[in-house]
A and B are shown apart, each in its own frame.
Chain A
């Protein structure tokens, strides 16, 4: 079934074929380009990525250990006006998420008020009892958030997912822009685009602003990576490099004198802020998974003593849960006192018997996701699945309904990609990156546009063959 039919919002063209405002400058430029030269540029981009090592690792594919995420040369473009509206909604949502985290680990007013059922996080493995009653430095939980948005109409952006655990992909946002500027410098003189290159500087500043009281005047920030075999290692190294921070592994760190310290060539040196790209479960073998070799024994004690900042705060993964997601409109309203500016995608909670019945009756039409899942794994896309796949999924769903939510198969917007036969529409989403510190919220204009490279496909995840695009916010 081809999903790219007329009902989808086309980011570039109106239904009558004319060019939308966002793309007018780009289209003007494109119409002046030689098609043969544009084809050559595609190869140039791939060579560039290979040479600079912008790769990601795919778990379970040993022979293709380092793969490139396909990059498409046609930018995804948003007007300044659209972005202003969007960013207000994003900021509201992130404020609410942070307040929600604080409440969840303190008085739990939202549960007392009856707006959120307690069972939702009681059985959530991302919920950490160790965080109860503890307030992180600056009261910030969600230092870095990625909000996945989809567009279904001219004014209709919706949140598909919140990523408050460890959102990834920001290095692609930055490198995609670098690549585009290297390949088409003249394009950027014709069309004014708001820069994204400020992100690493803002990240460093935002993290430093969250340093604990014991930190030195210029706080020491380090990026904790699981190591070179992690799928996002390139990004960890890239961000450390861009921030001028040390890239550390668990084996470099040790708790000495009540501080987390890193082994330098001159001895051990305390770390004030740890931007960790290691999951909660592996952070501290003394507190969580005892077999973890990626973490630092005792770091949670140091953390709870207020002598290191961990970004994001342990336990924020609760917010990524898709059952929690379904309550986000209530959560936003509860903590901000405002109506949500960005709506959710309609969601059926399979834990609820009526919803479950509806979902089971309409599996062919729906997208069903595991509440704790991520990366596009463990989900069913009804319209593109075989009878057999649906039957097997039905069994799993009936066995553990509380483990699933369902959503309508969205008419995701499309944006053209460059194919051998010219431009062709493909489905896209958008992940803006949001920084939070006591000094405020900073949203980099744009974000990461992920694109399904296969015709009609709705799966944009890089682990499932999705690609990326440079994302522009016009400086208009």
Chain B
């Protein structure tokens, strides 16, 4: 397999994952804003933009944080290089550039998804249609994932696809957790105390984990158990532990295929040490924010070493 193709595939799945994660975050913000006063809703939208790392670009174009502006900017603005549509379009461009590495089913899922979003996002999405639009984004990316799962050979290409997915997902979960938690938890004294449950619902909703969490924790809502769930619970498919377990599996598959491990595997093992055999108390002792910053950095290191190891670039 060509190094360039590996790069295209890895990023195609990162883009798909990012488009979907962005839609989830927007959905949580939307639900939150519906139950808030105008000021609080505006703060909520600002937090969405901050979490997405779009604050600079956004504030270049808008002075307020209204639902209409934020949604339009995040979904489709041409001034936003990270918009959902751009991410999906990037995924399609990569798919097109690696047409012979993916199955016809995957290509059609991504291409049709792109066509559907292009039509849907051709003009500003009205608030009354926002829910449907966000559901469509999730659906299109689910279809691409399903086609991948159901039609691709379990070979090198698949391993790069999955590695891209989990690197991106781990990054997204860590960032959401960091921004939200940091804002919501002004000091360590709050850890373990009962909190405004709607805020916490929102964190979980941003990761589509509210029902799973409630089911597993029978309604208990506190910072410690939520962090435990999102970081260490390897049953939840968006938790850091889950992402790394899947990432390790795919990197091991690559090592088997290539007959050797490399820098990426070393970086992976180091990053995993920070997760394995840790209790959530240890993480709070270290400081959650510090933990997450380190996690994001080492996640980035893994991505970089994968790119180097497998000759993504000349």
Contact = CB atoms under 8 A, between A and B. Distances in A.
B22 interface: no
A241 interface: yes
A424 interface: no
B2 A248 contact: yes
B100 A264 contact: no
- Tell me whether chain B's interface is mostly helix, strand or loop, or mixed: helix
Nearest to B254: A265
Residue among A227, A234, A248, A252 with the highest chain B CB neighbour number at 10 A: A252
Contacts of A246: 2, 100
B219 to A, nearest CB: 46
Interface in B300-314: 310-311, 314
A339 interface: no
B111 A265 contact: no
Of the four ranges (under 10, 10 to 19, 20 to 34, 35 or more), the interface on chain A belongs to 20 to 34
Contacts of B310: 265
A223 to B, nearest CB: 9
A265 B115 contact: no
B234 interface: no
Contacts of B2: 246, 248, 252, 262-265
A53 B106 CA distance: 12
A412 B111 CA distance: 38
Interface in A225-249: 227-228, 233-234, 237-238, 240-241, 245-249
- When A and B form their complex, which 4 residue pairs have the shortest distance between CB atoms, in order from nearest? A237-B99, A241-B100, A265-B310, A263-B3
Residue among A240, A248, A264, A265 with the highest chain B CB neighbour number at 10 A: A265
Contacts of B258: 265-266
Given A228-B97, A240-B100, A263-B2, A251 B112 contact: no
Contacts of B93: 228
A53 B107 CA distance: 9
A252 B97 CA distance: 13
Contacts of A248: 2
Interface string B187-220: 0000000000000000000000000000000000
Contacts of B4: 249, 251-252, 263
26 contacts: A51-B112, A52-B107, A52-B108, A53-B99, A53-B107, A53-B108, A237-B96, A237-B99, A237-B100, A241-B99, A247-B99, A248-B2, A251-B4, A252-B2, A254-B314, A262-B2, A263-B2, A263-B311, A263-B314, A264-B3, A264-B311, A265-B1, A265-B3, A265-B156, A265-B258, A265-B310
Contacts of B314: 251-252, 254, 263
A247 B311 contact: no
Interface residues of B, number: 21
A122 interface: no
B74 interface: no
B104 interface: yes
A254 B4 CA distance: 13
Contact of A53 (B96, B100, B156): B96
A252 B7 CA distance: 12
Interface in A259-273: 262-267
A14 interface: no
A245 B100 CA distance: 9
Interface in B111-134: 111-112, 115
B309 to A, nearest CB: 8
A247 B100 contact: yes
A50 interface: yes
